[in-house]
Amino acid sequence: MVCMASPPAPAHDKPAWGGSAMADFDMPAEDVEAIRAWFDDWGAEVARRDFASARRRFDPDVLGFGTWMDHVEGLDALEARQWRSIWPGIEDFRHLTEGLRCMVSPDRTMAFGMTVWTSTGFHEDGTAYERPGRTTAVFTREKPGDPWRCVHTHVSLFRDVPQRSWGRRG
């Protein structure tokens, strides 16, 4: 499935400032596929606990929200206080990008994507549980064709999923 912009809203439904240029823009398939690949590759890095490779996808001044942090500023803080608090205690992380939703700006230098993910968490006694959630990410780049760099993430668990995973025991 390729993410496509929603059809333009009728003029009377648009905000006074003129509506959403991003929603009215037909995104090039290569931009959508690059965003899909970004999520797929980052998910694989989470699963491998490959912090160094994951860092290369992010802007040094990234802002984020997450399970353990209400507000995170900067890549060092995101890694230290969010990623390293979560990734070692989970397994099988994967973004389900077949359901990806995204928009790309008309100049193709800003975009956002949102998708759900799955992982395996572990109760304190070591028993496994399904640990699904969702990610929203905002991306920028200097010019079309450059790699997307993430400037914001919001990664959170679905409702009623245990907030802590203790990691596999034994």
Note the pLDDT tens digit of each residue in 74-123: 999 999 999 999 999 999 999 999 999 999 999 999 999 999 999 999 99
Predicted confidence at residue 67, as pLDDT, reads: 67
CA-CA-CA-CA torsion sign (15, 36, 84, 167): positive
Note the pLDDT tens digit of each residue in 11-30: 444 444 455 555 666 889 99
Predicted confidence at residue 164, as pLDDT, reads: 86
Sorted by where each begins, the domain ranges of the chain are 27-157
**Residue in the block written with tokens 């984020």:** 64
Select from 3.10.20.30, 3.90.120.10, 3.10.450.50, 3.40.50.300 the CATH code of 27-157.
3.10.450.50
Distance of CA 1 to the CA centre of its chain: 18
Single pTM value for the model: 0.85
Q: Per-residue pLDDT for 48 more than 70?
A: yes
Predicted confidence at residue 4, as pLDDT, reads: 43
User: Residues 6 or more apart from 73 whose CB is under 8 A from it?
Assistant: 61, 63
Report helix, strand or coil for 94. Answer: strand
Phi, psi (deg, nearest 5) at residue 127: -75, 140
Predicted confidence at residue 68, as pLDDT, reads: 66
